């Protein structure tokens, strides 16, 4: 009888646990994104390839999941303004399949057009979590950038 009970419990629990283990994408991104806002309602955003973004606002509580090797290349500005209770998370879609490529801020950008990351978590990238190249207008505040690697380590 124990075998049947545990089998029944496992059969009933599996459908409840599956969504937590294999969350679906709210929005799939495959092309460049300019002049847009990513909202919690569209989250998680699954970025399936390296893309350029510009004039992109990401609202509190959004999760951005990137495919192995995929990067966000910020051409103008990115404003990811999370809160203490609703951070914005940038992470791998499936860490077992590989790390994503990180966020790269390039320039030059127009004066008074800073990128800003506030209350963000940048994790599981394989080419550094954040790279700032030829861009003096990037502000990182209260972000947690951890568990990333770089080609040199």
Sign of the torsion formed by the C-alpha atoms of 30, 36, 107 and 69: negative
pTM for the model:
0.83
pLDDT tens readout for residues 39-89: 999 999 999 999 999 999 999 999 999 999 999 999 999 999 999 999 999
Share of the chain above pLDDT 70, in %: 84
- Residues 6 or more apart whose CB falls under 8 angstroms from that of 78 comprise 53, 54, 56, 58, 72, 103, 105, 115, 116, 117
The token pair at 79 is 């404003």
Within 10 Å of residue 34's Cβ, how many Cβ atoms? 11
What pLDDT, on a 0 to 100 scale, did the predictor assign at position 93?
97
pLDDT tens readout for residues 101-120: 999 998 778 788 899 999 99
Mean pLDDT of all residues in 141-145: 97
């Amino acid at each position: 009888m124990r075998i049947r009970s545990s089998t029944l419990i496992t059969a009933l629990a599996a459908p409840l646990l599956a969504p937590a283990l294999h969350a679906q994408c709210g929005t799939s991104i495959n092309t460049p994104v300019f002049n847009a806002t990513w909202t919690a309602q569209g989250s998680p955003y699954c970025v399936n390839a390296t893309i350029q973004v510009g004039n992109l606002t990401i609202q509190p509580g959004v999760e951005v999941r990137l495919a192995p090797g995929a990067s966000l290349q910020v051409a103008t500005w990115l404003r990811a303004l999370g809160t203490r209770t609703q951070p914005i998370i940038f992470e791998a879609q499936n860490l077992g399949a590989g790390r994503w490529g990180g966020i790269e801020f390039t320039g030059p950008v127009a004066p008074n057009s800073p990128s800003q990351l506030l209350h963000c978590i940048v994790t599981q990238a394989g080419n550094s979590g954040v790279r700032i190249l030829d861009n003096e207008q990037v502000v990182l505040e209260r972000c947690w950038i951890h568990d990333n690697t770089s080609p040199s380590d």
